[in-house]
Structure 1
Amino acid sequence: MNIVLMGYMGSGKSLIGNKLADKMKLEYLDLDDYIENQEKNTISKIFEEKGEIYFRKQESRYLKEVLEKQNNSVISLGGGTPCFAGNLEIIKESEKAKSIYLKTSLDQLTKRLFAERDKRPLISHLSTVDLLNDFIRKHLFERSFYYNQADHNIITDDREPDQISEEIITLLF
């Protein structure tokens, strides 16, 4: 089985994914890292040089590839992955994938992301906490329809990554 982590950027998918893979002795794969390796370019540069449409097409292609090739892995998706190009259906139709939505509050996401916005192409242009908060609020409204279709939803606010990974293990086994 592959455990697929989804959620908004800053929800802890990479951190929790690594912890979960360690605890379960599984391979860990970050889809964004996989895309960067395959494209031999950073996500930021891909967005800048080829645009979001190109990126989303490649993201879908690589998601299919990863779900077909990986077994017994923890896979962290990009924040928008389940919301584009039929990717949610690809995940749901995969017989060997269980999806987990790491649900994080707007305030928590704003706090986490403001400090690291320079590293994230979708929010790097937002110069104030209020602008970032409004941006995230809009995205969460649009994306929650997709995220909430995960097999399991886990609230991450005020919880340690170890607690969250233990909850995932308990839910799945």
Structure 2
Amino acid sequence: MQDLRNMNLLLYGYKKSGKSYYGLKVADKMHMNFIDTDLLVQDLYTKKHHKTLTCKEIVLHHGRQAFKDLEKEVIFSLDDIENTVIALGGATILDEKNVLHLKKIGSLVYLKTDKKTLMERILRGELPSYIDPENPIKSFEKMYEERLSIYEHLGSLIIDTSHKTEEQVTKLLCEHVHTLRGFNG
């Protein structure tokens, strides 16, 4: 029987790049499971502290390192996951140990979105903890530049969503799943 672990599709990219959105679409079309690691981090926090906090609240109340520790625990708990689309938190792949582990359980795919679109999406909603509310544009640009080269060098596939329809992006992701499953097309 084929090892299904390598059929996991691991979506990464900046916040608001569509990881969960496209992840759910692909999971539905390809009859796969779907996991959002940020939700797993929140669930793990709730289990440990008997209190519910969002990812942003975890960072604000306990610090970035506490969040990273929870995130690492979640990432390393995914060993037995099969046939799943996994939406990774935006900073998950900034940790080298996370990346090494993730590459063992699936195929990393970078959902690349143009800087202007990302900034508009992020600044339109509640600001994430890494954006300085006093200078949101400057802090967004700093974060974007810090992550860009890392994001672009890790994926086994990069899908630039900037000039594609939702259907085109979904189709490319589904084709990648077919490739992982060993089908042609």
TM norm structure 2: 0.82
1:36/1:43 contact within 8 Å kept: yes
1:15/1:161 contact within 8 Å kept: no
- Structure 1 residue 141, shift from structure 2 partner: 1.9
Is it true that 1:137 corresponds to 2:152 in the alignment?
Answer: no
Deviations 1:29-56 (CA, angstroms, capped at 9, x unpaired): 0000011111113212211221101111
Which residue matches 2:49? none
Is it true that 1:122 corresponds to 2:130 in the alignment?
Answer: yes
Q: 5 Å matches for 1:1-173?
A: 1-40=7-46, 41-66=53-78, 68-84=79-95, 86-92=97-103, 94=104, 96-118=105-127, 120-123=128-131, 125-126=132-133, 131-148=135-152, 149-172=154-177, 173=179
2:23/2:34 contact within 8 Å kept: yes
Distance (Å, rounded) in 1 between the aligned partners of 2:120 and 2:163: 12
**What is the aligned-residue RMSD (CA, Å)?**
1.6
1:56/1:85 contact within 8 Å kept: no
Distance (Å, rounded) in 2 between the aligned partners of 1:161 and 1:132: 28
Distance (Å, rounded) in 1 between the aligned partners of 2:136 and 2:113: 15
Distance (Å, rounded) in 1 between the aligned partners of 2:114 and 2:133: 19
Q: Size of the alignment, in residue pairs? A: 165
Which runs of 4 or more aligned residues in structure 1 lie more than 4 Å from their structure 2 counterparts after TM superposition?
none
Q: Could you tell me which amino acid in structure 2 is paired with residue 55 of structure 1?
A: F
Q: Could you tell me which amino acid in structure 1 is paired with residue 54 of structure 2?
A: T
Q: What percent of counterpart residues are identical?
A: 27
Distance (Å, rounded) in 2 between the aligned partners of 1:39 and 1:20: 28
Q: Equivalent residue of 1:44, what SS?
A: helix
Q: Could you tell me which amino acid in structure 2 is paired with residue 122 of structure 1?
A: Y
2:44/2:70 contact within 8 Å kept: no
Q: Which runs of 5+ in 1 are unaligned?
A: none
1:106/1:133 contact within 8 Å kept: no
